[in-house]
Amino acid sequence: MIHQNILLLLLPSHHIAFGAQAKVSPFSPCQANHRLVAFFPHRLRSSLSRPIALASFDSEILQEGLNRVLPAGSVLPKKYSTSAKEITVREALNSALDEEMSADPKVFLMGEEVGEYQGAYKISKGLLEKYGPERVLDTPITEAGFAGIGVGAAYYGLRPIVEFMTFNFSMQAIDHIINSAAKSNYMSAGQISVPIVFRGPNGAAAGVGAQHSQCFGAWYAHVPGLKVLTPYSSEDARGLLKAAIRDPDPVVFLENELLYGESFPVSAEALDSSFCLPIGKAKIEREGKDVTITAFSKMVGYALQAADVLSTEGISAEVINLRSIRPLDRATINASVRKTNRLITVEEGFPQHGVGAEICMSVVEESFEYLDAPVERIAGADVPMPYAANLERMAVPQVDDIVRAAKRACYRAVPLAAAA
Amino acid sequence: MVLGRVFEDMCAQMYYRGKMFGFVHLYNGQEAVSTGFIKLLEARDSVVSTYCDHVHAVSKGVPPRAVMAELFGKATGCCRGQGGSMHMFSAQHNLLGGFTFIGEGIPVATGAAFSSKYCHEVLKESTPNRLDVTVAFFGDGTCNNGQFFECLNMAQLELWKLPIVFVVENNLWAIGMPHLRATSDPEIWKKGPAFGMPGVHVDGMDVLKVREVAIEAIARARRGEGPTLVECETYRFRGHSLADPDELRKPDEKASYAARDPITALRKYILDKELASAAELKIIEKKVDAVIEDTVEFADSSPLPPWSQLLENIFADPKGFGIGPDGKYRCEDPKFIEGTSLSLESCLPANHLHRCLIPSESSIRPNSIKVRHG
């Protein structure tokens, strides 16, 4: 036990393995690993006398350390499974792109810095070397131009993946996403379909200011003719990106910058090259019976944390990871609400005309009699994103907000001493 | 050209009789540009146009009946009435629209040219020196738009050199905004060399001169030497659209261009050079009139689209993952979510243009997956 600790201190941080089969790849920034190494010296003296089980993080000391060191609202799940492999969302996306490009020569990637820079967020790392400059195209800074070029190429059956450095820049190309990609199949009465994927990070990052922080889920989900996907975990990222690339319709694939470095356990099936997730199906991340919380992208992590907090207070929350906001999986949401009778919708974007508004209306239309409380909508603040860190924290939903909303929905503004 | 002119005149008549509605933009006076370029193209070459696309459609080979029916909003139209005057698409004739936002068609055309290059270089599916060419038509107003410049730049990139011809139909007016007021340097052909491609100015009222330039530009593109910018000086005899009172243009300007009517000029040329007699030309005109009459009758008697068509064709594949070999939606297969391996070819409902597909796939017609509810 003691020698294990010393061994850990001596190893370079990125070689620390969590569990026997966990793979740590060169792609992941290994944030958690760095912090553990930093943490160890402080506790080494006391830990020398205590065996620390590194195989699972039921260990109190490590858990405490993680809670202190990680930023509020980290999306790392609390329990690591020892047998599952873990990959980051970045690796998941990279492997999905790699596999689809190798399976189908008509797939190509286009965007700013996707080639020689290895991707602005390193999502397309290694692809230029593997597929060459004819399939991994660095474009000039001309979103409208290259989005339209992607659409024209898709008209002829090629499968472009157009990367926007962030979806904020997609506003320069939104004419093509909506008017030429989304509407072409309809306008041509089915003669010309557009098998294109528009992908990139969406939503708030950390301290990037008003013009780089908007969530475009509601904007794109508004348009008939688009499919809009919002992955959360690595499995989601892999499965949904592969599905999006294979899909013959235009897909808007909204990733999240803060999730790129997060690791999630993935099953062997998810790592198979033919793995795909269906578009339009939500996933119930956590089953519960008292209140339904719907969320997408980064907010799923927050919702899961809120569910943990709520469970200590006797409220069992069901967390739905929407995965796809157009088409919205109304069946799953309604079935869940009919079970729990209460609904909280969580999203990062602006509240007015947002995704939560649509979910609320869907539930009112289909499951009104089952609702025992008004639907609660948690969204970002109705302001352009401020820069100051404390204001930014207030402008984005936090775990506390979700917890409070759930309690309001359960008519329990004050926590009960014991569950009824 | 005569077909185009008579067609457009008939459109005006039909509009004023209430058979056509919405926005209709007529091409009278500009026929030389359309005929000069499109008649040199092969079936597999593509044309991308703007909202002023009736004559481009007819020149490219879309049957006038289908175009007129589309304008009337009938189910027999080339887009089954879904597109209308401004959104003519024909996969069979490689007519890629029909875009209303000016400048919107240029990147799509550039993408079509890109796909031609990609098929040749990456997929190794076309013969060298025989790239499929794309011709993009747009107006003088578009030449001040960002997307125009973005595409001139990208088409000429070192690695790209796309097989496209950018044709500017400079009719000097963008609705009521004259070209000279809107543009700092009005000579549009000069913008080509600024991006490293040849820029040519040609008299767009003379179909033979346009044709000369077109021959070279299209041949250049086909050989893989890259894009050309051709500025055709032309004029529209009618207003911007049928709702435009056209009060700002001076009568003497209109008269001077009317004197240069491309059809009259070509007729004179033919008669002078004795390539055909006046009687033969009369026969052609009568034939065209008959065709147009028939077209109107066809469109008139065609049915309106069925109500079920409202929700069709939003997606090629609303449920995702396409149709399996058994003809059912793949995602309805309960084994599907287990991640069983998918054959990519069968994932593709083939309702897109067939350039890069092997012949057997291109025989799959979209009608087999006709009814799709979004």
Average pLDDT of chain B to the nearest whole number: 84
What percentage of chain A exceeds 90 in pLDDT? 74
Q: Is A286 helix (H, G, I), strand (E, B) or coil?
A: strand
Chain B residues inside the 8 Å CB shell of A323: none
Q: Lowest-pLDDT range, A1-5, A59-63, A130-134, A396-400?
A: A1-5
Q: Lowest-pLDDT range, B240-244, B356-360, B362-366?
A: B362-366
CATH architecture of B2-299: 3-Layer(aba) Sandwich (3.40)
Torsion of CA A50, A54, A58, A64, to 10 degrees: 70
Q: What is the pLDDT of residue A20?
A: 38
Which pLDDT band, with edges at 50, 70 and 90, does B332 fall under? low
Q: What is the pLDDT of residue B358?
A: 34
Q: Which residues fall within 8 angstroms of residue A413, CB to CB, at 6 or more apart?
A: A407
- Is the pLDDT at B51 greater than 70? The verdict is yes
Which pLDDT band, with edges at 50, 70 and 90, does B335 fall under? low
d(CA B333, CA B317): 15
Dihedral (CA of B140, B143, B148, B154) sign? positive
Window A:144-163, CB contacts with B under 8 Å: 144-158
Question: Which residue type sits at B64?
Answer: P
Which pLDDT band, with edges at 50, 70 and 90, does B137 fall under? very high
Which pLDDT band, with edges at 50, 70 and 90, does B370 fall under? very low
ipTM of the complex: 0.82
Q: What is the pLDDT of residue A65?
A: 53
- pTM for this model (two decimals): 0.81
- Is the pLDDT at A5 greater than 90? The verdict is no
Q: Which of B154, B322, B357 lies at the smallest CB-CB distance from A140?
A: B154
| For range A36-50, the mean pLDDT | 41
Element at A109 (helix H, strand E):
strand A107-111
Window A:347-406, CB contacts with B under 8 Å: none
Are B222 and B164 in contact, with CB atoms under 8 Å apart?
no
Q: What is the pLDDT of residue B128?
A: 60
Which pLDDT band, with edges at 50, 70 and 90, does B374 fall under? very low
Q: Lowest-pLDDT range, A70-84, B247-261, B284-298?
A: A70-84
Task: Note whether B196 contacts A: Cβ–Cβ < 8 A.
Answer: no
- Is the pLDDT at B339 greater than 90? The verdict is no
Q: What is the pLDDT of residue A36?
A: 36
d(CA B55, CA A348): 49
Average pLDDT of chain A to the nearest whole number: 84
More confident site: A245 or A40: A245
| For range B134-151, the mean pLDDT | 94
B162 phi-psi bin (left φ>0, alpha ψ -120 to 50, beta other): beta
- Is the pLDDT at A309 greater than 90? The verdict is yes
Burial of residue B309, with CB atoms counted within 10 A of its CB: 0-12 exposed, 13-18 middle, 19 or more buried: middle
Task: Note whether B324 contacts A: Cβ–Cβ < 8 A.
Answer: no
- Is the pLDDT at B147 greater than 90? The verdict is yes
Q: What is the pLDDT of residue A286?
A: 95
Q: What is the pLDDT of residue B23?
A: 86
> A192 vs B116: CB contact, 8 Å cut-off?
no
Task: Note whether A175 contacts B: Cβ–Cβ < 8 A.
Answer: yes
Dihedral (CA of B266, B271, B277, B279) sign? positive
CA distance A245 to chain B (A): 10
- Is the pLDDT at B349 greater than 50? The verdict is no
Burial of residue A374, with CB atoms counted within 10 A of its CB: 0-12 exposed, 13-18 middle, 19 or more buried: exposed
d(CA A248, CA A230): 18
Q: What is the pLDDT of residue A71?
A: 47
Q: Which of B89, B107, B312 lies at the smallest CB-CB distance from A176?
A: B107
- Is the pLDDT at A134 greater than 80? The verdict is yes
Which residue reads 């097989």 in tokens?
A: B163
Are A70 and A34 in contact, with CB atoms under 8 Å apart?
no
| For range B27-33, the mean pLDDT | 92
Question: Which residue type sits at A215?
Answer: C
Q: Lowest-pLDDT range, B139-148, B186-195, B314-323?
A: B314-323
What percentage of chain A exceeds 70 in pLDDT? 78
Are B138 and B106 in contact, with CB atoms under 8 Å apart?
yes
Q: Which of A144, A186, A272 lies at the smallest CB-CB distance from B147?
A: A144
Which pLDDT band, with edges at 50, 70 and 90, does B32 fall under? very high
Specify which residues B169 forms β-bridges with.
B139, B232
Domain ranges of chain B: 2-299, 307-371
Q: What is the pLDDT of residue B105?
A: 94
Q: Lowest-pLDDT range, A66-80, A166-180, B170-184?
A: A66-80
- Is the pLDDT at B362 greater than 50? The verdict is no
Q: Lowest-pLDDT range, A156-160, A295-299, B89-93, B122-126?
A: B122-126
b/e burial code for range B201-235 (CB count within 10 A of at least 16 → b): bbbbbbbeebbebbeebbebbbebebbbbbbbbbb
Q: What is the pLDDT of residue B334?
A: 57
- Is the pLDDT at A153 greater than 70? The verdict is yes
> B79 vs A187: CB contact, 8 Å cut-off?
yes
Half-sphere exposure of B199 (CA within 13 A, CB side): 13
| For range B205-215, the mean pLDDT | 94
Chain Cα centroid distance, residue A248: 23
Q: Which of B100, B110, B322 lies at the smallest CB-CB distance from A149?
A: B110
CA distance B257 to chain A (A): 35
> B370 vs A190: CB contact, 8 Å cut-off?
yes
Q: What is the pLDDT of residue B127?
A: 66
- Is the pLDDT at B204 greater than 50? The verdict is yes
Q: DSSP letters along A322-370, please?
A: --EEETB-HHHHHHHHHHH--EEEE-SS-STT-HHHHHHHHHHHHHGGG
CA distance B153 to chain A (A): 9
Burial of residue B124, with CB atoms counted within 10 A of its CB: 0-12 exposed, 13-18 middle, 19 or more buried: exposed
Burial of residue A60, with CB atoms counted within 10 A of its CB: 0-12 exposed, 13-18 middle, 19 or more buried: exposed
pLDDT digit string, tens, across residues A346-375:
999 999 999 999 999 999 999 999 999 999
Instruction: Give the β-pairing of B173-174 and B177-178.
Output: antiparallel
- Is the pLDDT at B86 greater than 80? The verdict is yes
| For range B156-185, the mean pLDDT | 91
Are A181 and A129 in contact, with CB atoms under 8 Å apart?
no
More confident site: A145 or A63: A145
